[in-house]
């Protein structure tokens, strides 16, 4: 085992003799890793044994399920801007990571997953807890690599970090056989800065910038769609400058929320199936559509054959595979969003589009009267999800990181929470993973200690990863958890009501006593069902020093509107 003194001499000696398992830890330390989420097991036990000697240098969070490790690493990565790291053993440990890996892939979240594997001579023999995790993970990773000799470990980890964080980020898996962990090597670490045939940052085509600027300068009704790529490239300031110079209204995708301040006068709302009325219908009325760091997901476009047919489309996207995949472009800028916007800012004219922006505001008035007023200031006896989010926002003053699970509560929270700062919206977008929020919230709180993390979760998704209350308890992670309990799988029930003649087929839930469960984990908890108690309960939760669970009994059959019916045109968005 290399001592700290030996490690300090590594720069001078260039290499030291260590085991493969210690090389894993030293490699992670060279990449600046300070936190690992994981669950030990037989095939990765040597790595854990080496980690024991570095526990004062690297923080390890013992999750209660490997899926929780992957989601926690995602939450950590999304708020910190670093690469999230998780460990799992072979077989079921590795396969339990797959849901989190797939979620990270489609939402472009950089995580490095390190799994143990049976010894190399047993590969392919169906040995105990052997699974072909490379083949299983390949469709949902940027890169998967199996290490079978100790000498490969620094090489593999250096490349894993470079690939995970460069270009369009994503998950990487490194599978390490047990013999490689036990073997010895002369350890020398060189960070990866280039890989042949891998070009993560395409050069900007100045001609395309000029073409885009010409379209923008001539436009009467231009419209910016801001996606997750803004946050991934750190382009939020460039987006603000670009919008303010041109006077163009900006709408955000689900994952693009927090890329542009909610209260900015040019922010016209949230795109998608349950997004704002104006931001959806005006898509089919603009003359130039500027999509930045987004991939035209079907939840944004609805029927793509009826999407923005009247508009010239400019698409700024770092991943060439996303360009012209769903929506045909007139000007394709295959580049990093930050760099492309910097160049565009130089080329576009200063302008205002007051009448065009006012059209969105007119839509806002319609939506407020028909939807928002009823959600935020309801008159009935039952608590509505929207008023819970409104009070959370008022008490937190937009300072908190919001983590949402998947379902009705996700759409309501995304609509009504006021995002002031970048990377304060953490949710599962493309994969729509129920169970995401609780582990992601604890990972986000570990990654962002200076900001309160609030998880808003439905009663269905909460029970999918409820065991992570044990992790929160063990490490006293001060995340605040709001369970909006309607005793239904709410989003599925809404569809059953609207499109399946109220045949509520297996969507009603008989839930346990969440307060007793929280008490079993020594987590302070409270349940409310009356409006008069709501504000005080949220304030108590927010001010509490430590983790807190607040269960709110909300309207049982509440529906979320506006809504674009699946496969319909965004122009046909329903307000009721």
Residue 377: count of CB within 10 angstroms of its CB: 11
Question: Among this protein's residues, is 66 annotated catalytic?
Answer: yes
**Under 8 Å between Cβ of 108 and 253:** no
Let me know if 509 is a catalytic residue. no
338 φ/ψ angles, rounded to the nearest 5 degrees: -65, -45
Output phi, psi for 472, to 5 deg: -60, -40
What's the gap between Cα 279 and its chain centre? 22
Contacts of 373 (CB under 8 A, 6+ apart): none
Q: Using an 8 Å Cβ cutoff, are 570 and 273 in contact?
A: no
Q: Report CA Rg, the chain.
A: 24
Q: Active site residue: 66, 130, 322, 551, which one?
A: 66
- Per 3-state DSSP, what percentage of the chain is helix, strand, and coil (rounded to 5)? 45, 20, 40
Q: Any residues with CB less than 8 A from the CB of 430 and at least 6 apart, and which?
A: 103, 106, 107, 297
Q: H helices then E strands: how many in the chain?
A: 26, 20
514 is catalytic: no
Q: Which residue in 273, 385, 442, 491 is the catalytic one?
A: 491
Distance CA 349, CA 356 (A): 17
Is there a contact between 528 and 539 (Cβ–Cβ < 8 Å)?
no
Q: How far apart are the first and last CA of the chain?
A: 66
Which residue's entry shows tokens 């980890």?
157
DSSP state of 554: B
Angle at CA of residue 179, ends 176 and 184, nearest 5°: 100
**Cis before 264 (ω within 30):** no
468 is catalytic: no
The rounded distance, in Å, linking the Cα atoms of 72 and 86 is 8
Helix or strand holding residue 499 (H, E)? helix 490-499
Segments of 464-537 assigned E as strands: 480-485, 524-528
Cα distance between residue 405 and residue 489, in whole Å:
12
Q: Are 505 and 496 in contact (CB under 8 A)?
A: yes
Residue 128 among the catalytic residues: yes
Peptide bond into 455 cis (omega under 30): no
Q: Show the tokens assigned to 358.
A: 């006012």
Which of 7, 178, 374, 384 does the annotation list as catalytic? Answer: 178
Q: Among residues 1, 9, 128, 358, which one is catalytic? A: 128
Segment (H or E) for 519: helix 514-520
Secondary structure class of 402 (helix, strand, coil)? strand
Question: What's CA 62's distance to the chain center, in Å?
Answer: 21
Name the residue among 490, 480, 485, 486 with its Cα closest to residue 537. 480
Q: In Å, what is the CA distance from 228 to each residue of 67, 159, 211?
A: 23, 24, 24
Structure tokens at 440: 């992601």
Contact call for residues 27 and 438 (beta carbons, < 8 A): no
CB burial of residue 42 (10 Å; 0-12, 13-18, 19+): middle
6, 129, 285, 467: which one is catalytic? 129
**CA separation for the pair 313, 324 (Å, rounded):** 10
Show which residues are catalytic.
Answer: 66, 128-129, 178, 491
């Amino acid at each position: 085992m290399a001592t700290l003194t030996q490690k300090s001499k590594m720069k001078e000696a260039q290499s030291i003799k260590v085991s493969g398992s210690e090389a894993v830890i030293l490699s992670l330390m060279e990449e600046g890793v300070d936190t690992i989420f994981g669950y030990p097991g037989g095939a990765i036990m040597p790595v854990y044994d080496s980690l024991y000697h570095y526990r004062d240098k690297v923080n390890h969070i013992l999750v209660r399920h490997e899926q929780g490790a992957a989601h926690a690493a995602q939450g950590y990565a999304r708020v910190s801007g670093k690469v999230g790291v998780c460990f799992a053993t072979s077989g079921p440990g590795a396969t339990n990571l797959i849901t989190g890996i797939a979620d990270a892939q489609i939402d472009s979240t950089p995580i490095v997953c390190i799994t143990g594997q049976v010894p190399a001579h047993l590969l392919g023999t169906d040995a105990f807890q052997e699974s072909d995790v490379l083949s299983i993970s390949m469709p949902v990773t940027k890169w998967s690599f199996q290490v079978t000799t100790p000498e490969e470990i620094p090489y593999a980890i250096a490349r894993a970090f470079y690939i995970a964080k460069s270009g369009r980020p994503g998950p990487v898996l490194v599978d390490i056989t047990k013999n490689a962990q036990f073997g010895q090597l002369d350890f020398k670490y060189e960070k990866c800065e280039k890989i042949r045939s891998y070009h993560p940052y395409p050069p900007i085509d100045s001609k395309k910038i000029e073409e885009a600027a010409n379209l923008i300068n001539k436009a009467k009704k231009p419209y910016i769609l801001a996606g997750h790529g803004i946050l991934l490239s750190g382009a939020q300031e460039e987006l603000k400058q670009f919008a303010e110079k041109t006077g163009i209204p900006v709408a955000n995708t689900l994952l693009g929320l927090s890329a542009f301040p909610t209260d900015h006068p040019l922010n016209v709302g949230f795109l998608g199936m349950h997004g704002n009325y104006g931001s959806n219908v005006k898509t089919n009325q603009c003359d130039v559509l500027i999509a930045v760091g987004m991939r035209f997901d079907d939840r944004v476009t609805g029927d793509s054959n009826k999407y923005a047919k009247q508009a010239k489309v400019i698409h700024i996207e770092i991943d060439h595979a996303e360009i012209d995949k769903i929506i045909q472009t007139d000007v394709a800028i295959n580049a990093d969003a930050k760099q492309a916007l910097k160049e565009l800012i130089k080329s576009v004219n200063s302008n205002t589009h007051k009448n065009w922006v006012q059209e969105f505001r007119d839509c806002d008035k319609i939506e407020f009267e028909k939807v928002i007023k009823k959600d935020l200031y309801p008159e009935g006896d039952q608590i509505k999800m929207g008023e819970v989010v409104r009070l959370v926002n008022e008490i937190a003053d937009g300072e908190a990181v919001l983590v949402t699970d998947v379902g009705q509560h996700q759409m309501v929270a995304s609509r009504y929470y006021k995002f002031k700062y970048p990377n304060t919206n953490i949710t599962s977008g493309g994969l729509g993973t129920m169970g995401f929020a609780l582990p992601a919230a604890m990972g986000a709180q570990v990654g962002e200690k200076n900001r309160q993390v609030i998880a808003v979760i439905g009663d269905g998704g909460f029970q999918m990863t409820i065991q992570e209350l044990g992790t929160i308890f063990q490490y006293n992670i001060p995340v605040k958890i709001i369970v909006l309990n309607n005793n239904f799988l709410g989003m599925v029930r809404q569809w059953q009501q609207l499109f399946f003649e109220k045949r509520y087929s297996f969507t009603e839930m008989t839930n346990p006593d969440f307060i007793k469960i929280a008490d079993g984990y020594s987590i302070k908890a409270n349940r409310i069902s009356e409006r008069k108690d709501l504000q005080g309960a949220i304030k108590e939760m927010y001010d509490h020093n430590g983790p807190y669970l607040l269960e709110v009994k909300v309207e049982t059959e509440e529906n979320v509107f506006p809504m674009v019916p699946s496969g319909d045109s965004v122009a046909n968005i329903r307000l009721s």
